[in-house]
């Protein structure tokens, strides 16, 4: 890219947009407000137009007209959608199903893992893991009289595999960590950490909520045991869409989850007298799944797969790299501290800064039509979604942040 | 109603429709296929037009345009929708929340109840309870080393309170039964059974899946402890819409559910280091709720409340009574055995018959545009939804069933 504008000028961002092979995907989303710069897709992803059409079909034709007869094809939707999520996360078919929410899935898989490691009394996670993860494990540890060991991860630099190695021992049943950290955006070494955990004889449960759709995972290749993730962030499946769970094929026969529901029964509609768990991944579901939600997951996953995992990660890294570069020039000199790894290979799809007035800043950015989000105690996040975020959005948002901080200095 | 047509003539059904004060509600549903007679609302209820409009708003405007900013009002939607379900079930506000599916809710509340009765080792349910209920309790009993005691309910006459009295003792922690039985449609004596269970010092968990929206419940007045129910049957909230759960106010402080998620945390967005359960009913939720589903529950509940609980039950009883009357004349002489209480006061909203060819019959009825459903081993159900089912639908369906059985005798 020769003869480009200087990096800090808006023209440079426009040139990056013009050269972006994924730029056309933005038109496939219902982002119709030209005054909105939405950098919060890491919280709730945008609405794909295909999903709007699909949900209209599911609601009007499948529910409204065909009614209960649609269960003939709805019944497999959670596994069909799960297989698509598998393509996004490096899981061969039959290992992922769309079901429940992330919290319930964490609970089911953690219980299954602990039952598979009787006598071992330690669960390990990290102190900066997402709250629901920590709370679920805290609850299970309390209920079973186990120890929850919390790693003190450096929340800006992310998980250090050496810390995991130092923490696991022959008493460790389960280690659960996030692939991308929700606050810092730090990307964990899935292969390295999983290997360390396995060497100690424990099971590894990865939370992919903040990576799926922005950062490729290689669940099978990394020999991961268990995984969960949500679908309403980069997967764009809508508010409260169901989550997914992964159980490696090699473990599906032996593991058993605690919530024995009729959708996890072998011959579900025989409604037999005793529970007889289904073969395969269905065993890890519970009751009736959300059909609207699973349909939206299918559409969201298709759109990401159409873009391709390589191009998605490449654009994600270009977006975050550009933001970090602008931030170095404009935000860090104004008292913003980068709270995300500076090395692009160690980042996910969002970039976080610390600033004492982070909360007020996100409010004032929102008032200016720039949606980012605040995280306690002093952090604000820019979520950059490779299918919808433009480089000019990044430029505008960082410039506006700079101006607000400068303005705040003189006015507040 | 003098000068009416003879009961078995279609004209009689037409006169009942003409006199039906709820007849106008059918137009508020997207039942646009004039060739369809849908008597399966006890499996999946029809699509209310208000829900179609509401979901379009939630999808296009709230998700598509306002995006994550909509969480400001979404966050309370599950409790707002829950309070409306409370109006349908006799529960004062703050005791019901829309969350998860019925299976997960059964699991959470059963675990909470068992923890509140330490030392007691028996869970009681009935052998004909819905499969997911039985499987969940079977799983919990296996995991905790408890006894699951199964009542041999007469599946045609329903639960006998005397059986419950004979089964409970000082070792009983929890009794869980269905308010309306899923196969027979038999209606249980909620007040009487709850009192018997309390006299033994146990907790009572009612499953309202097959009653809510057709049969009023009086959860508070009956001093019920815990309840669950789904929303996709008579509540018309759509396929896989989230379920609800009830925890009596007097128990909310002391009970604790096992799945500790961020939506059940006191100050959720502080994302604090340790789990501190929210006050009130939110404590019994888990992770991110389905927003589309909760919005549909709100619309479905509003429509039922507009019709009124008294008129709903009155029409439901008239519909089932009329069907039983036609069945007595036309089906019972042809080898169909009524598998629902003959006494209208002991029935819910559906009527079941046994016939050796029940499965084939439902298939042939469906081919004729009459949707009923089959339940193992030899039963077929007519689900009569007071907001959408016409008396002429009942007449046509029973007449068609009669003709198919007669035809089957000669041809098959």
CATH assignment of A10-47+309-411, among 3.90.1150.10, 3.40.50.300, 3.20.20.70, 3.30.70.20: 3.90.1150.10
Topology (CATH) of B52-305: 3.40.640
The string of DSSP letters for B208-276 reads: -TTTTTTS---TTTTT--EEEE-SSSTT---TT---EEEE-HHHHTT---S---GGGBTTGGG--SS--
CATH assignment of B10-47+308-411, among 3.40.50.1820, 3.10.105.10, 3.90.1150.10, 2.60.120.260: 3.90.1150.10
User: In chain A, which residue's Cα lies nearest the Cα of B363?
Assistant: A69
Residue B2: pLDDT over 80: no
Kindly report, as residue ranges, where domains of CATH 3.40.640.10 are found in chain B: 52-305
pLDDT digits (tens, 9 = 90+) for A140-157: 999 999 999 999 988 778
Question: β-strands A373-375, A379-383: how paired?
Answer: antiparallel
Q: How many CB atoms lie within 10 A of CB A21?
A: 11
- Å from A385 to nearest chain B CA? 14
Q: What local confidence, expressed as pLDDT, does residue A412 receive? A: 37
Average pLDDT value for residue range A335-362: 96
pLDDT digits (tens, 9 = 90+) for B155-171: 777 888 999 999 999 99
Residue B399 CA: distances (Å) to CA of B9, B15, B339, B393:
10, 17, 18, 10
What tokens appear for A219 in the block?
């669940």
Choose, out of A29, A67, A270, the residue to mutate when testing the contact with B (most B CBs < 10 Å). A67
Residue B375 CA: distances (Å) to CA of A28, A46, A70, B184:
44, 42, 17, 10
CA–CA separation, B184 vs B350, rounded Å? Answer: 8
pLDDT digits (tens, 9 = 90+) for B192-222: 999 999 999 999 999 999 999 999 999 999 9
Residue A408 CA: distances (Å) to CA of A29, A381, A412, B112, B342:
34, 19, 5, 50, 76
Q: What local confidence, expressed as pLDDT, does residue B270 receive? A: 86
Residue B71: pLDDT over 60: yes
Confidence of residue A411 (pLDDT cuts 50, 70, 90): very low
CA–CA separation, A409 vs B177, rounded Å? Answer: 65
Question: Percent of chain B, pLDDT > 70?
Answer: 98
Question: Percent of chain A, pLDDT > 90?
Answer: 92
Diameter of chain B by CA atoms? Answer: 74
Confidence of residue A334 (pLDDT cuts 50, 70, 90): very high
Q: What local confidence, expressed as pLDDT, does residue A2 receive? A: 56
Q: What local confidence, expressed as pLDDT, does residue A156 receive? A: 78
Tell me whether residue A406 is one of the annotated catalytic residues.
Answer: no
Cβ separation of B239 and A107 shorter than 8 Å?
no
Considering only CB atoms, which chain A residues are within 8 Å of B64?
30-32, 46-47, 52
Compute the mean pLDDT over every residue in chain B, rounded to the nearest whole number. Answer: 95
CA–CA separation, B29 vs A67, rounded Å? Answer: 12
Diameter of chain A by CA atoms? Answer: 74
DSSP state, residue A180: B
Q: What local confidence, expressed as pLDDT, does residue B410 receive? A: 41
Kindly report, as residue ranges, where domains of CATH 3.90.1150.10 are found in chain A: 10-47+309-411
Average pLDDT value for residue range A46-63: 98
Tell me whether residue A232 is one of the annotated catalytic residues.
Answer: yes
Q: Which positions ≥6 away from A364 have C-beta within 8 Å?
A: A404
Kindly report, as residue ranges, where domains of CATH 3.90.1150.10 are found in chain B: 10-47+308-411
CA–CA separation, A130 vs B395, rounded Å? Answer: 57
Compute the mean pLDDT over every residue in chain A, rounded to the nearest whole number. Answer: 95
Q: What local confidence, expressed as pLDDT, does residue B302 receive? A: 98
List the single residue in A68, A269, A366 with the smallest CB-CB distance to B40: A68
CA–CA separation, B386 vs B41, rounded Å? Answer: 10
Average pLDDT value for residue range A247-255: 98
Catalytic residue among B379, B381, B390, B402: B381
Tell me whether residue B232 is one of the annotated catalytic residues.
Answer: yes
CA–CA separation, A30 vs A52, rounded Å? Answer: 8
């Amino acid at each position: 890219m020769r003869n480009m504008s200087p990096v800090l000028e808006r023209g440079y961002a426009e040139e990056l947009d013009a050269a972006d092979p994924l730029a056309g995907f933005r038109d496939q989303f219902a982002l119709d407000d030209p005054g909105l710069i939405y950098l919060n897709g890491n919280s709730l992803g945008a609405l794909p137009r295909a999903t709007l059409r699909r949900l209209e079909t599911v609601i009007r034709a499948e529910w409204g007209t065909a009614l209960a007869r649609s269960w003939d094809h709805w019944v497999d939707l959670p596994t069909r959608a799960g297989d698509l999520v598998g393509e996004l996360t490096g899981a061969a078919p039959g290992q992922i199903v769309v079901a429940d929410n992330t919290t319930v899935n964490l609970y089911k898989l953690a219980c299954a893992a602990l039952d598979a490691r009787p006598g071992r009394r330690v669960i390990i996670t990290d102190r900066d893991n997402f709250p629901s993860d920590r709370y679920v494990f805290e609850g299970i540890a309390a209920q079973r009289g186990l120890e929850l060991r919390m790693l003190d991860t450096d929340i800006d630099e992310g998980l250090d595999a050496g810390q995991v190695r130092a923490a696991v021992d022959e008493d460790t049943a389960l280690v659960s960590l996030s692939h991308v950290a929700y606050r810092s955006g730090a990307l964990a070494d899935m292969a390295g950490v999983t290997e360390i955990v396995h060497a100690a004889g424990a099971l590894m449960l990865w939370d992919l909520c903040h990576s799926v759709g922005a950062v490729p995972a290689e669940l099978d290749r990394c020999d991961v045991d268990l995984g969960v993730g949500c679908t309403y962030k980069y997967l764009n499946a809508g508010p409260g869409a169901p989550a997914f769970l992964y159980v490696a094929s090699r473990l599906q026969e032996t593991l058993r989850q605690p919530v024995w529901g009729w959708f996890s029964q072998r011959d579900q509609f025989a409604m037999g007298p005793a529970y007889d768990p289904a073969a395969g991944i269905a065993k890890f579901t519970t009751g009736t799944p959300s059909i609207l939600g699973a349909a939206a997951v299918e559409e969201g996953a298709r759109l990401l797969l159409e873009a391709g995992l390589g191009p998605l990660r490449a654009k994600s890294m270009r977006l975050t790299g550009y933001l970090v570069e602008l931030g170095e020039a404009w935000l860090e000199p104004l008292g913003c501290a980068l709270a995300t790894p500076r090395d692009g290979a160690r980042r996910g799809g969002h970039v976080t800064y610390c600033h004492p007035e982070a909360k007020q800043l996100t409010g004032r950015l929102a008032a200016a039509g720039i949606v980012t989000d605040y995280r306690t105690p002093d952090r604000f996040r820019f979520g950059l979604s490779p299918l919808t975020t433009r480089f000019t959005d990044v430029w505008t948002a960082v410039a506006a942040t700079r101006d607000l901080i400068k303005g705040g200095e003189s006015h507040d």
